[in-house]
Amino acid sequence: MKIFYSSLQKKHVIKKEVYNGKAHPYNDKVGRIDSILKAFKQVGHYEIIVPEILPYDALTTVHDEDYLHFLESSQNLKNDEIICPYVFPCDSRIPRHEPFIPKRAGYYCFDAGTSLMNNTWNAAVASASAAYSAALHTKKTGEATYALCRPPGHHASKNMFGGYCYLNNAAIIAKYLSKSGSVMIVDFDYHHGNGTQSIFYDSSEVFYFSIHAHPLVEYPYFTGFETEIGIDDGVSYNLNVPLMPLSSPNEYFKALLNGINKAFKAMEPDYLILSAGFDIEAGDPIGHFNISIADFQKLGREFRKLNKKTIILQEGGYLVSELGTNVESFLNGFQA
Ligand code: OKP
Ligand code: ZN
């Protein structure tokens, strides 16, 4: 299987995130990339392809131009400068003054745990480019591909970053692929992909199915409920299956296969995009679904059985020591 990845993605380095008033180590570590690459290298038969930078137009199909300019302007930050938003204009009556870095970064952000530095833009574009090149390859050959996207994408909306995400990699390639066929995104990250949901919420262009930890108790707290089924043309093109933390792998597989059945009844897609979050893994520091390395192989096999043109995008997965072998096990199952 071809792997799409650029070393530019390593240049986004954030050390800390704020949670409950304290600084903790940032979960989206650069070491996540090394863990995955190491596992591929050990197995041997994965070919790594460096993506070309995607066309700017691919970004504007999803994101607002003022938001893109804002992200781009983070390049002007000083070398060791970190912008962590902490004031958010939540009151809709507040006039939206021209936002700029750093004081008004909260204009384009929805959580206080995701920061910007001078290489964030280049890394995020490289990550989206990995997804885009993978999509081109799958479109051209029909072969399944994997993009090692980091930073991840599923929390980013058309005009907001958050949850370690800046550009919505899945949405960008969904927009591109939908020109040549029907598209379904299946998001199995531990967290609900609020960004992806919001981008396609009022449209039947792309079906979004997410299985995730219940937002009553887990991030992002405000979205991911079963009652969110889409609006306008998008009604019944959005499916959320929330599960309580510590659900067993058995319950997880049952809910997942049920959800896939339901989604496929609404739409048989030509293209399947997986928002593959490995924070469902046993021992993940922020995910609690206990999916083992053997379960990941089984999971990969289930998706292979759907027999669609598939692009697999890395989302979360924060247990650096096990992440790579879990990803490889999934891809192994997919190819078996
Ligand atoms: C990004 B992705 C833990 C707080 C974690 C942010 C979670 C972002 C998840 N104390 N908050 O993997 O969906
Ligand atoms: Zn996650």
How far is ligand 2, taken at its centre, from the CA of residue 258, in Å? 21
How far is ligand 1, taken at its centre, from the CA of residue 194, in Å? 12
- Ligand 1 lined by 18 (C-beta under 6 Å): no
- Model pLDDT for residues 218-277, shown as the tens digit of each residue: 999 999 999 999 999 999 999 999 999 999 999 999 999 999 999 999 999 999 999 999
Ligand closest to CA 154: 1
Please report which confidence band the pLDDT of residue 100 belongs to, taking 50, 70 and 90 as the band edges. low
Residue 105 CA to residue 192 CA, distance in Å, equals 23
At 92 the pLDDT is: 78
How far is ligand 1, taken at its centre, from the CA of residue 135, in Å? 26
Residue 142 tokens read as 């029909």
Annotated active-site positions, please? Answer: 155
Where do runs of H (alpha helix) occur along 210-287? 249-266
Kindly give the pairing relationship between strand 47-49 and strand 145-147: unpaired
Q: Whose CA is nearest to atom 1 of ligand 1?
A: 163
Q: Whose CA is nearest to atom 3 of ligand 1?
A: 286
pTM over 0.90: yes
Average pLDDT of every residue of the chain:
96
Span between the terminal Cα atoms of the chain, in Å: 11
| Shortest-distance atom of ligand 1 to CA 277 | 12
To test the ligand 1 pocket, which listed residue (219, 222, 284) has its Cβ within 8 A of the most ligand atoms?
219
To test the ligand 1 pocket, which listed residue (161, 168, 286, 289) has its Cβ within 8 A of the most ligand atoms?
286
- Ligand 1 lined by 318 (C-beta under 6 Å): no
Q: In b/e form, how buried is each residue of 284-314, taking b as 16+ CB within 10 angstroms?
A: beebbbbbeeebbbbbbeebeeeebbbbbbb
- Model pLDDT for residues 149-163, shown as the tens digit of each residue: 999 999 999 999 999
At 94 the pLDDT is: 78
Domains annotated for the chain, with CATH where assigned, are 2-335 (3.40.800.20)
More confident residue, 329 or 104: 329
At 228 the pLDDT is: 98
At 336 the pLDDT is: 77
Burial class (CB in 10 A: 0-12, 13-18, 19+), 69: exposed
Residue 288 tokens read as 């609690």
- Model pLDDT for residues 116-146, shown as the tens digit of each residue: 999 999 999 999 999 999 999 999 999 999 9
